[in-house]
Chain A
Amino acid sequence: MKAYVTVSLKKTVLDPQGKAIQAALQKMGHSGLSEVRQGKYFELVLAPELTQEQARAQVEKAAREVLTNPVMEEYSIRWE
């Protein structure tokens, strides 16, 4: 089983990198892209002996306590 964790800045937090990328895209003619926000992406491979429940608990904990700083970031998890 694999977990794909996406970490992004909270909507209330200014993302200067996203803004710079958006400005560059605008200059290149991508006028339809009105906002860009940059995030991080992690692939976590789960040990086969874990139950689904254990796997979910472990990934949630890692995402919440390590991969994300809750002051400025939020995360979402996709499973495969």
Chain B
Amino acid sequence: MIILFVVLPLIVAGLLPLVGKVSRRVLPDLLANATLLFLLVYAAVAGRALIAGGPVLQQAAWLGEAVNLRLALDGFSLLMLVAVSLVGLAASLFSIDYMEHYGAKANYYALYLVMVAGMNGLVLATDLFSVYVFLEVAAVASYALVAYGLGSDELEAAFKYLMLSVVASAFLLAAIAVVFGMTGSLEFAAVAAALKELNAGAVIGIASACFLLGFGLKAALVPFHAWLPDAHPSAPAPISAVLSGLLIKVSGVYAMTRIFLNVFGLTPALSTVLMVLGAVSMVVAAFLALGQKDMKRMLAYSSISQVGLVVLGIGIGTPLGIAGGLFHLFNHALAKGLLFLTSGSVQQATGTRDLDAMGGLAKRMPVTAATSLIGSLSIAGVPPLNGFWSKLIIIVALVQAGHPVFAVVAVLASVLTLWYYLLIQRKAFFGKLDEKWAAVKEAPFWMTVATVLLALLCVGIGILFASTVTTWIQPAADVLADGVHAVTGSWGF
């Protein structure tokens, strides 16, 4: 019943506004978190057994009548489902206390679950048009969530985000139309099979360029990144965590790699383009992050930089590079989710995001400071945390594949990353406590639970990295490394 991943959050989302009439806080909190917890347990516990015998394909029936609803679950989709449920649950637990002063909580959770359903649907889709539709589901919900505070800067950020997303959608639709024109189908398997027969390099090139522009905008790769540093900091903290931790990866990186590696097949030219785009994003965004005074804005630039590293890793195209890229994608989802949540705790306690105005907060908020430190060190790649291992794998893969220059660039970018994360830590949490923060208290219970959960995962995966890689990352990397064959071979219905 893999369709539950899409349908369950939608049904609960539909019920929530009604439930909100009866109970304004407790029931919506309970219902939304229980749904996400169920999806996490289902993905993490039942998921691996489901795909043990190869990818799961499901054709849905409606009142006994077979309809053409097709979904597929393989190692790559399962990894993404687990990431979505995990970070989604943490951000939703955080929302219990954090969203209290925004009001209309039932409505907030409804939008949140629709966004989760959109991401899950995209991950399970087997055709290009469904990919497009679910991309829009997640995007439409996220525009409203970015603007949820209804302040003027939130509305402006949401509008900017909407406008650039529409441009991305236009490019994606154009690419999908070109693919349909060439192959007469939108199913991944049929398109991949038809493209193998056709000798249409120029047309595939144009479709690839349109996809690259569209997904590049969604993933906020430099030079398509202008919207992200506005949109992500303006959103409520749990939404920033989901946007940076999940949405740019699902609707940008996942969709792009699924189409480029499994449907089109990675050509050497495409591989070079991806690696260059990734490396440029990684370096440029790291420098831009250094100059930021706003805590969440710095984190947003860091997201662009780290997504660059993920794309660089996957772009190598070797099994090790893909595994490293996917592992970093997962680790970054956890750590960046954690950092945005802690920045939300700090913002709620102090009322500011300005790093220069903070200082010494570790004395007042020890748990938040400790979890934020773990997240920072993880993304910066300090052993033995999870981020260290994924960066190491990517760098080893770069050297192995004969790209020593890219490897050096990746190492230097890591140094920059460590630099700006230490800046955050020093300015916000260490040093002398300013008198005006004397009354600041530690974050409320559920906010602390969410950050501690993610911090423990960062440490735990760092220590148990070998088993994490073999259990979750390797099956996903195998699907991508298998290339076109992964789809044409076993995805026939």
Judge: A and B partners, yes or no. no
Q: Report which A residues bind B (CB closer than 8 A).
A: none
